[in-house]
Amino acid sequence: MNYLLMIGCLLVTIAFGTTEKLSNAYGIAVIFSETLTSSFMVVIMLGISNTNMLLVLLYVLVISSTEYIYLTSVLYKFSQGGYMPFLFAIMLMFIMCTWNSVYRKKYNYEINHKVSQEVIRDMIMGTNINRMQRLAIFYSDLAHGIPPIFKHYVDIVPSLHSVIVFVSIKSLPISKVPPEERFLFSRVNPKQPDCIMVEEVGIIDRATQAGVVHLVGEHEIISRRGSSIGKRLLIDYAYNFMNKNVRQGYNLFEIPHKRMLKVGMTYEV
């Protein structure tokens, strides 16, 4: 990222050529960030903090009005280099909106195609499925339910580990998560009596001692047939380009490569 910033600074400096245009771009960027901050502050006062209306009005008259006066005084410099912050803002908004939109389509696809309890039961009871005395940790973005890539894996490799743990890590839009809610556990099959649970602990210990395998899903997102040109450009090119350059989850979790198995599947959204 530092190298990219260095290259960007060099390109902007060479393109502008004079410090006057650089100062125009910097001035508009600073005052716009101030006015946006003030605008969001008013939204927080009204919608979240329930601040007294008189205080909100006083804030707008004293602070926001002063900043908007400064803003109107520099708008004439827009064509003299002030357009650069807007170009960067548009580019960043395009990246964030594209990523968020396609990622939501991917997540909705997994929700609509998650593996049902009946299918899981048929997999377990199937006679053509080999069982391995090992522990498998299956990483998924789906917080509730079994992702479709698991069935895809079983169809390709007709074998199941004796113990399978599905792991999903989520970020919440709150400042702090209560300790009792930081780790949530649920069972795929119905709960068993306590006496059987003791036996299951022994099964998990034996599977762990036999070996642990980390299964990581590799999702390829493509647009459906008949999609518009704009949708194909966003999904097939823009999103996939960003997805190839983003840091993968197994690097963040420091999964040992010798015990990692990637499973690929294509989603048509």
Per-residue pLDDT 10s for the chain (269 aa) are: 889 889 988 888 888 888 888 888 888 888 888 888 988 999 888 888 888 889 989 988 888 888 888 888 888 888 888 888 888 889 889 999 999 999 999 999 999 999 888 888 888 787 788 888 889 999 888 888 888 999 888 888 888 888 889 988 888 878 888 888 888 888 776 555 554 577 778 888 888 888 899 998 888 899 988 889 999 999 999 999 988 887 766 666 778 888 888 888 899 98
Cα dihedral: 124, 156, 144, 195 (round 10)? 20
Separation of alpha carbons 140 and 138, rounded Å: 6
Element (H, E) at 135: strand 130-139
Position 255 scores a pLDDT of: 81
- pLDDT computed for residue 27 by the predictor: 84
The tokens of 29 are what?
């960027």
Residue 249, pLDDT score: 64
Q: So what's the pLDDT on residue 81?
A: 80
In this predicted structure, what is the pLDDT of residue 136? 92
Residue 228: per-residue pLDDT: 92
CA distance readout (Å), 21 to 9, 16, 28, 81, 151: 13, 6, 11, 5, 58
Q: Are 121 and 160 in contact (CB under 8 A)?
A: no
pTM: 0.74
pLDDT for position 233: 92
Helix or strand or coil: residue 221?
strand
* Per-residue model confidence (pLDDT) at position 191: 54
Give the angle subtended at the CA of 204 by the CAs of 153 and 211, to the nearest 5°: 60
